[in-house]
Every structure is written in C-alpha cells, then in structure tokens.
C-alpha cells in the first residue's frame, strides 16, 4: 500500500511539472481605443445664446403681425415639431423640418440662405386649448410624480420651467447663419378665428 502511494506521489509530481507556469500578473490587456472628443462644446453654446438674446428680443411678434408677415413673398412658416405632430395639425401653409433633423445641408435644401427669405416660427407653447396636438412643453414641480411629499412642498413655490421648442429653434437657426427670423410671441386660443389649421385631424 505504501509503495502504491509513493508511486502515485511521484507520478503526480511528474505530471504537474510538465504544465507550463503562467504568471497572470504579467499578462497585459490590449489598450482600449481612444476616440476624439465628441462634437459638443458647451462654451460655444453659451456664446451663441449670449449673441442671440438681444437679437431675438426684437424679433418677437404678435399674432396679427405674424399672420400679416406670412402673406408676404419670400416668407416661410417653419414648424419644427415632429413629423407626427405636424401631420396631425399645423398652421396652414407651414412647412416641416423636425428640430432633430436640423443640419446645415437639410436647412439649406429647404430654406434659401439669403437675407430676403423670412422665417416665421411657432411651437406647441403658442397654442392653448389642445393638449393632444399642441401639448405644452414645461416642467411643473407641483405635478412631478417622482418626488416625495417633502420635496414637493419645498418646490411648491417654484414656478414652472417653460421649455418651448421656439427657443432652441431660434438659437439653432441663428447658429446656422439665418438672421431673418421672427417668432410668434403670444399664447393663442386654438379656436381663434384668425388662424387656420391643416392636417389629418382638421375637419
């Protein structure tokens, strides 16, 4: 019995001595590929917003002026909401390019890059009375479902944050080189007799 155990020990030592030793501490992983920085610069955006602020202030117009200007030659009413919202209901005569599809080429294909072409813009936050086709873009802390009672009470005195699509639309149009831009500045009742709508949901 002792002889058998001895032979097993000898054989096992011989077997393991044939296995190559791997020093895992010396293995190196292949370095991950590093990409260049994303095409995003917050400082550039802040400078653009600063440039636009005073300029935009002089380009906010009433509904009467908006409608009067829309009848002039070389004037485009631009709806930058989603194609889905646009197809359902939009101001009569408006053309659509979703804000998410803005590029230099897509804009220039649709809107001539010259100072004679006037662009009129509007968005959901210009219309009151139709939360289906023109849902208001805002954040109201009092209506947040994710906050507890204490947080809601703390924020109850804060006014809603308006997130109208008109603002980034104006800023981006300016950034892409357009200057002849005017923005509807009133909250218009959806049943106002001065306005006409088109779309699949319009009788």
**In b/e form, how buried is each residue of 85-110, taking b as 16+ CB within 10 angstroms?**
bbebbbbeebebbbeeebeeeebeee
Please write the tens of the pLDDT for every residue from 96-110: 999 999 999 999 999
Q: What percent of the chain has pLDDT over 70?
A: 79
Q: Number of helices and strands (H, E) in the chain?
A: 7, 11
Mean pLDDT of 8-36: 60
Q: Where are the domains of the chain?
A: 58-203
Please write the tens of the pLDDT for every residue from 180-203: 999 999 999 999 999 999 999 998
pLDDT band per the 50, 70, 90 thresholds, residue 63: very high
| Closest C-alpha among 186, 172, 184, 176 to residue 70 | 184
pTM equals 0.80
Fold of domain 58-203: Oxidized Rhodanese; domain 1 (3.40.250)
Residue 173 predicted with pLDDT over 90? yes
Distances (CA, A) of 98 to 21, 33, 78, 80, 110: 62, 34, 9, 4, 12
């Amino acid at each position: 019995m002792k002889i058998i155990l001895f032979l097993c020990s000898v054989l096992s030592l011989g077997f393991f001595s044939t296995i190559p030793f791997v020093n895992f501490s010396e293995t190196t992983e292949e370095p991950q590929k590093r990409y260049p920085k994303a095409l995003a610069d917050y400082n550039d955006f802040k400078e653009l917003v600063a440039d636009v602020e005073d300029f935009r202030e002089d380009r906010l117009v009433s509904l009467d002026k908006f409608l009067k200007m829309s009848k002039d030659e070389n004037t485009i009413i631009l709806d930058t909401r989603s194609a889905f919202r646009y197809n359902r209901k939009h101001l009569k005569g408006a053309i659509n390019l979703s804000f998410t599809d803005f590029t230099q080429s897509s804009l220039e294909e649709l809107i001539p890059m010259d100072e004679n072409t006037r662009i009129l813009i509007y968005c959901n936050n210009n219309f009151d009375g139709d939360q289906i086709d023109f849902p208001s873009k805002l954040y109201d802390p009092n209506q947040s479902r994710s906050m507890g009672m204490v947080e809601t009470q703390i924020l109850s005195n804060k006014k809603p944050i308006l997130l109208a699509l008109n603002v980034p639309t104006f800023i981006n149009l300016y950034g892409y080189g357009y200057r002849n831009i005017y923005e509807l500045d009133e909250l218009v009742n959806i049943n106002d007799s001065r306005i006409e709508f088109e779309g699949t949901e319009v009788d």
